[in-house]
Structure 1
Amino acid sequence: MENQVREVPDLTFEGFMGAYGGTGKARHGVRKNRDLLTLSDDYSLAHTMPASIKDSRDLSYAFGRKFGLVAKLQCQLPAPGKSLKLQDTSRYLFYLVTKDIVQYQPTYQDVWDALFQLREHVLESDVQKLAMQKLECRQLDWRIVRNMVEEILKTPRSRY
C-alpha cells in the first residue's frame, strides 16, 4: 500500500495563530523528559538547528558527533523553514532549520514551516515513533510553539 500524505483541512499559519496564538491550548501530545540520544533505535529523532550547520551547538552538535552525516545535511541546502531528513540504520533523523545562524532568533513562521515539512516527512516515511526535544526558540512563547507542534503533528492515526 502506497503511503500518502494527508492534508489537515484548513491548517494554515494564520488560522493557527488566530486560534492558538494566545492562551489557547492544543494539548494533543505526550510529554516525557528523556535524553534523545539514549532512546532506542525504534524512535526517529527530531531537533532544531541553524542553517549554518557548522555553528551548531548543544544537541545539534551532539547529533553531529553521534550520527555524523553533516555533509549529507549540507547537500539538502538548509534554510530557515525547512526540515531535513536523514536515515541512520533503522530510524530517521529530522533536522528542523528554524534560523540562519545561532545568534539569530527564529520566527513563528519559520518554526511553522519546518514543522509542517517534518509532518510530511514523518507521514511519507511511515514513522511510528517520533521523539523531539523542547524546541529552542528563545524569544518565542513556548506555549505557542508547543501548540504548533501538537496541532501540526496530530494525524487521524495516533502515532506520536
Structure 2
Amino acid sequence: MTQFVIREINGDLFSADTDYSMCHCVAADLRMGKGIAVKFRNEFGQLETLQKQNVQPGGVALLEFDGRFIYYLITKQSSSSKPTYQYLASSLSAMREHMLQNKVQKLALPRIGCGIDALDWNRVKEMLCDIFKADAVELAVYSY
C-alpha cells in the first residue's frame, strides 16, 4: 500500500480481519459501561494494564493483543462528559505516531465519537483524512 485509504463498511467492527489493529474512544476513567466500549472491554479485557498507563484526555492508551494493537483514544475526562474535537484530534495524532513507529498500516474503527458521544461524522471523517493523508494506511470504518 502506498497511499492513504478510508473505506466505509456496513457491518460489525469485530468481524474485521485480525491483521487490522483497532481503536475506539473512551474516557480517562476507563469505565467503558456503554456502547461499543462494552464490547471492547469484554473482548480484550486487561483493564488494569490500561489503568496503569494513566493516560489523560488527548492521549492514547493501548494494548497488544494477538499481534495487533488495540487503541483506546482518551477523548474526555469522565464517562459522563462529552468529548471535544480538540481532544479527539490530539488522541488520533498520538495514535498515528504509535502506528508509524510500529508500522501499523491497517486500522479498523467504528465511526469514532459519533455514537453515544454524538460528534458529527462528517467533521470526524475530515479530521481522519487530515491526520492520516500523508500515510500509507488503510482505515476501515464500520457502521453497525
Q: What letter is aligned with 2:20?
A: Y
Greater share of residues in helix = 1
Gaps of at least 5 residues in structure 1 are 1-27
Structure 2 matches for 1:137-156, cutoff 5 A?
137=114, 138-156=117-135
RMSD: 1.9
- Bigger-Rg structure (1/2): 1
1:95 corresponds to 2:72:
yes
Contact 1:87–1:93 (8 Å) recurs in 2: yes
Query: How far apart are 1:56 and its partner, in Å?
Result: 3.4
**Whole-angstrom CA distance in 2 between matches of 1:98 and 1:146:** 16
Q: What letter is aligned with 1:148?
A: M
Gaps of at least 5 residues in structure 2 are 140-144
**Whole-angstrom CA distance in 2 between matches of 1:153 and 1:143:** 16
1:157 corresponds to 2:133:
no
Contact 1:50–1:56 (8 Å) recurs in 2: no
1:54 corresponds to 2:27:
no
Greater relative contact order (Cα 8 A, min sep 6): structure 1 or 2? Answer: 2
Structure 2 matches for 1:1-160, cutoff 5 A?
29-137=6-114, 138-160=117-139
**Whole-angstrom CA distance in 1 between matches of 2:136 and 2:22:** 19
Percent sequence identity is 33
Aligned pair count reads 134
**Whole-angstrom CA distance in 2 between matches of 1:63 and 1:29:** 22
**Whole-angstrom CA distance in 1 between matches of 2:19 and 2:13:** 12
Contact 1:55–1:101 (8 Å) recurs in 2: no
